């Protein structure tokens, strides 16, 4: 028999992308919370590159086990990295958080998150329709 409906690479990629977008929103929130903290360096998450590397490395995306009785989250094997955001202008207090950039990126991440969840929802609705038609 072909691949299972439950083991769907598109759904797995969508889940990993949602995990990355969620982490990005957390980092942006942390940046906004520290907009007035002296010496704070704005951070960023580039999950797209890590996701592309993981998908190009292998098409099967194997699970990583931490012990013989537990399974680790597949996202942890991708290794999304939080890094300092390059560029930006430093203020006198050595803080480089730009509230306009942060709010723009928060909006973009929210829109991307919503688009992915809607596509996953439509795919699951299609699978439900197929299952109910049998």
Parse the chain into domains and list their residue ranges: 9-133
- pLDDT of amino acid 75: 42
**pLDDT value, residue 113:** 95
Instruction: Provide the pLDDT for residue 35.
Output: 92
- The two tokens of residue 115 are 């688009």
CA distance 13 to 47: 12
**Cβ neighbours of residue 31 under 8 Å, at least 6 residues apart?**
40, 42, 43, 97, 102
Phi first, then psi: give them for residue 83, nearest 5 degrees.
Answer: -135, 165
Helix (H, G, I), strand (E, B) or coil at 68: coil
| Residue 48, both tokens | 């797209």
Q: CB neighbours (10 Å) of residue 27?
A: 21
- CB atoms under 10 Å from CB of 95, counted, come to 19
pLDDT number for residue 12: 83
3-state secondary structure 79-118: CCCEEECCCCCCCCCCCCCCHHHHHHHHHHHHHHHHHHHH
Lowest mean pLDDT among 12-21, 25-34, 87-96: 87-96
pTM of the model: 0.73
Cα 97 to Cα 28, 66, 109, distances in angstroms: 10, 37, 17
**Binning pLDDT at 50, 70 and 90, where does residue 83 land?**
confident
Mean pLDDT of the chain: 81
The per-residue pLDDT for range 36-73, each reduced to its tens digit, is 999 899 999 988 887 787 777 655 555 556 665 655 44
pLDDT of residue 1: 44
Q: What is the pLDDT of residues 103-114, one digit of tens each?
A: 999 999 999 999
pLDDT recorded at residue 72: 47
């Amino acid at each position: 028999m072909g691949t299972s409906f439950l083991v769907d690479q598109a759904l797995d990629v969508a889940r990993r992308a949602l995990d990355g977008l969620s982490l990005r929103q957390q980092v942006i929130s942390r940046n906004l919370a520290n907009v007035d903290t002296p010496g704070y360096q704005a951070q960023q998450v580039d999950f797209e590159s890590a996701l592309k590397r993981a998908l190009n490395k292998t098409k099967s995306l194997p699970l990583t086990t931490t012990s013989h009785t537990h399974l680790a989250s597949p996202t942890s094997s991708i290794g999304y990295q939080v890094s300092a955001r390059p560029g930006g202008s430093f203020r006198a207090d050595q803080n480089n958080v730009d509230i306009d950039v942060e709010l723009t990126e928060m909006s973009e991440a929210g829109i991307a998150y919503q688009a992915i969840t809607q596509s996953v929802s439509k795919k699951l609705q299609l699978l439900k329709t197929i299952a109910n038609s049998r």
